[in-house]
Chain A
Amino acid sequence: MIERREQKLGMPTGRGYSRRDFLKVGGAGLAGAALLGTAGCGGGGAGSGKLIFSMSSPVPTFDALLNKFSKQNKGEIEATLREMPANSSTHYDKLTTEFQAGGGDIDVIGGDVIWAIQFAAQGYIQDLSDDFPESEQEKFLPGPISAMIYEDAIYGIPWFTDAGLIYYRKDLLEKAGFSGPPETWDELKEMALKTAKDTGTKNGFVFQGMNYEGGVCNGCEFIWTHGGEVLSEVTGGEVVIDSSEAVAGLETYASMVADGVAPEAVANYDETTSEPVFGAGDAVFLRDWPGYYGLLGIPTKDGGYPNLKPEQVGIAPIPVAEPGMQSYSALGGWNQFVNAATDSQEEAVTFAKFMIATEQEKSLALDGGLRPTRKALYEDPDLQEASPVIELAKEIIFSNAKSRPVNEYYGDISLELAEQFNNVLTGDTSPQEAAETLQQSLSDIMEQAD
């Protein structure tokens, strides 16, 4: 039986190539090509003369600025924008993937203020101390600058800044008989409840309480305005989150939902879900970033809220626990980082310096509504006229902006804070328990940081 099989399908004599030969050679060739192909993938760098700049949520002004840069350096450097996800956490993930893969091909990175230390500690971004000396640093706001410093070297240049603040409906408060924004949290609660009842507004106060980075900002603001701290120093020190002031802050945070001032849904709100609530007129107070002001009265197709006019809305600092206490706002903002693995080192620095030049920051503020990081621009009369939020938010940005912990393990710290703050809001954990849990877990993280 075996002989018969071999005879039938064996190699026929007297012919050059048989089908089997062909299959043998063809198969080997394809396999070789496939292996070579997989081996050849990889390698980065945009190539000489081309710069890739990555940033999320681009306003139309970015394109104009990139064109201006390309024209100024015509023939030598051309800059293109790579858009990144709007959600800060997803954006961070994408960047880390590129870095872990050996640098990626992004030359200049527009990055969130909290990423500077994490990227610097892992060697992903370039030390800019030589290109950005202290004499230059002084022209910028101190808060963002301090968040860029790791081991006495500066790793990023502040580009535009953010600080949390309270938006309130001037018209609704007037109707309810209040003359101005609240100064303390108790006042806010009272105003929110009464105004919502009197004017028939659905919600008193909405904010971002979801389990993500924005939730950390919100929770920290409550802790800070009650006199508490997460870490004793911004860059390190001890974990002091189980102090009575911090617990009081968390108790106020939980009471927002428990007392009906904010809907239970805030535990699932981020910026994109809380802003429409206020924009539709369904809330009296909103805690958000300064950029929101530029969306009032703008048509929906541009991402705005046409039914809510800027005249109806006022801006106020984050309330405090007792009258006279210092108000604090979470410091946000975006900065220019240079990829440590880029081939176009000099060109990248030139680009970064271009983007933070006074002219560029001014046009970003005028056209894009972004808040400059250069102190001098806040006195500029053109800006004050064109962007009301500059004038209104100036004091908040200058004196109240406070950085979240600046630490190479901030990623882990943020995960813990976000989770516990969210548990406090949903009522799963009491503020005291949450503070104790955080004290333990943050101490563990800080121990490993040394």
Chain B
Amino acid sequence: MTSASREKKERGWFKEEFGNPERRMAYYMVLPAVLIIVVIAFFPVLYGVVLSFTDSTVTAFGSFVGLENYVEMFQDPDFLVGLSNTVIFTVVSVTLEFIFGLGIALAVNRAFRGRGLVRAAILVPWAFPTVISAVMWRLMFQPGIGIFQYVAQSIGIISGPVLSDPTLLLIAAILIDVWKTTPFMALLLLAGLQVIPGEVYEAARVDGANVYQRFFRITLPLLKGAILVAVLFRTLDAYRIYDLFYAFGAKELQSLSTYVYEGVRISQLQFGPGNAAAVFIFVTAFLIALFFIKVLGMRTSTEE
């Protein structure tokens, strides 16, 4: 393309967006909401980024210190534990939730008696507020009164209280999150499955495709959009996990978000690294979303 025609294209876009009174009206309509979002959402993020380059505390705005907070954060063993816990938790729980969710979605996709009831029933774990189910699970792992602690200890796979061992805590937290969120994945994938027309399967059957070929060659590719949306949602959610770790682990289980909370709210001297960690979470979450959209080709609008 020549530069002249490219310029005309850019000018054309501008003219098309703002020259057209109808589209201009659309921008005006959206303007109040955008302003509110900028004030409420962007401003705190910007302020947080600015704060992370200073040595402020909760009560006083400090002076510019460059990357010192980030250096301190990366050297803090609590942060590294939180980072590794969060990454392991995200990868494992999203993978498990995807596999189980897809299985449930495929199973519920066929029409059978009581299907509506089953669909409502599988949503029950998702409906509980996370804090409440976390405390409930914590009780079930409490030595002396907890059923899971008792069973696991009797079988012999565990020798001490789960609530004292960081590795066992992480495994338990992953299982709890899978219990809680698989229904959500299942429902998102189910919605995607229902959009696939039945004729495609009929045609495949006529062509002699077996179950595996139908699944891998038809279902998965046609489900790609729903899968990416569901997996991105869950990945970002799991990456920012806080309430489950805090309520279930009670300070024994560290995630990125609990590190931020401890630094910014409880401690008075860790405000800088805590703030830096918050910015770190924001940037990496943004990069994850970008990866999904650009590299994995997630569709973000109906205009392509």
Contacts and interface: CB of A to CB of B under 8 A. Distances in A.
Contact of A100 (B28, B58, B163, B250): B58
Nearest to A97: B265
A122 interface: yes
Contact of A34 (B32, B144, B161, B270): B32
A411 B264 CA distance: 12
A282 B59 CA distance: 47
A415 B40 CA distance: 32
Contact of B28 (A2, A24, A38, A422): A24
Interface stretch (A25-33, A66-74, A171-179, A288-296): A25-33
B95 interface: no
A382 interface: no
Contacts of B202: none
A265 B142 CA distance: 8
Contacts of A212: 250-251
Contacts of A35: 32, 35-36
A20 B25 contact: yes
B25 A264 contact: no
B28 A273 contact: no
Interface in A361-408: 408
B144 A265 contact: yes
Given A34-B32, A265-B144, A445 B161 contact: no
A268 B161 contact: yes
Contact of B268 (A23, A24, A409): A409
B32 A30 contact: yes
Nearest to A2: B20
B268 A412 contact: yes
B143 A265 contact: yes
Contact of B270 (A31, A100, A412): A412
Nearest to B31: A31
Interface string B244-264: 000000111000000000100
A417 interface: no
B142 A273 contact: yes
A100 B266 CA distance: 12
B143 A411 contact: no
Interface in A1-35: 2, 5-6, 9-10, 20, 23-24, 27-28, 30-31, 34-35
Contacts of A273: 142
B155 to A, nearest CB: 17
A34 B36 CA distance: 9
A163 interface: no
B165 to A, nearest CB: 8
Contacts of A28: 32
B164 A267 contact: yes
B267 interface: yes
A426 interface: yes
A277 interface: yes
A212 B250 CA distance: 9
Interface in A84-139: 89, 93, 96, 100, 118, 122-123
A340 to B, nearest CB: 13
A115 to B, nearest CB: 13
Contact of B269 (A20, A118, A211, A409): A409
B268 to A, nearest CB: 5
Nearest to B20: A2
B29 interface: yes
B161 A264 contact: yes
B237 interface: no
B61 to A, nearest CB: 13
Interface residues of A, number: 44
Given A9-B22, A28-B32, A210-B250, A263 B143 contact: yes
B160 interface: yes
A20 B29 CA distance: 10
B251 A412 contact: no
B268 A268 contact: no
Contact of A445 (B40, B266, B269): B269
A448 interface: yes
Contacts of B36: 31, 34-35, 38
B269 A268 contact: no
Nearest to A35: B36
Contacts of B252: 211, 422
Given A20-B25, A267-B161, A273-B142, A415 B266 contact: yes
Interface string B125-163: 000000000000000001110000000000000001101
Contact of B142 (A5, A123, A268, A409): A268
B208 to A, nearest CB: 47
Interface string A277-307: 1000010000000000000000000000000
Contact of B29 (A23, A100, A415): A23
Contacts of A412: 267-270
Given A100-B58, A264-B160, A415-B262, A27 B32 contact: yes
A157 B28 CA distance: 58
Nearest to A267: B164
B199 to A, nearest CB: 35
Chain B CB count within 10 A is highest, among A6, A100, A265, A445, for A265
Contacts of B59: 100, 122-123
Given A24-B28, A263-B144, A426 B265 contact: no
B266 A277 contact: no
Contacts of B250: 210-212, 268
A38 to B, nearest CB: 8
A23 B40 CA distance: 24
A268 B164 contact: yes
B25 A426 contact: no
A422 B262 CA distance: 17
A408 B143 CA distance: 36
A147 B193 CA distance: 65
12 contacts: A6-B22, A10-B21, A24-B25, A34-B36, A118-B268, A211-B251, A263-B143, A264-B161, A265-B142, A277-B144, A412-B269, A426-B165
Interface of A: 2, 5-6, 9-10, 20, 23-24, 27-28, 30-31, 34-35, 38, 89, 93, 96, 100, 118, 122-123, 210-212, 263-265, 267-268, 273, 277, 282, 408-409, 411-412, 415, 418-419, 422, 426, 445, 448
Given A23-B29, A93-B266, 20 more contacts: A2-B20, A6-B21, A27-B28, A27-B29, A31-B32, A93-B265, A96-B265, A122-B59, A211-B250, A211-B252, A263-B144, A267-B163, A268-B142, A268-B163, A409-B269, A411-B266, A411-B267, A411-B268, A415-B266, A426-B165
Cβ-closest 5 pairs across A and B: A31-B32, A265-B143, A426-B164, A268-B163, A267-B164
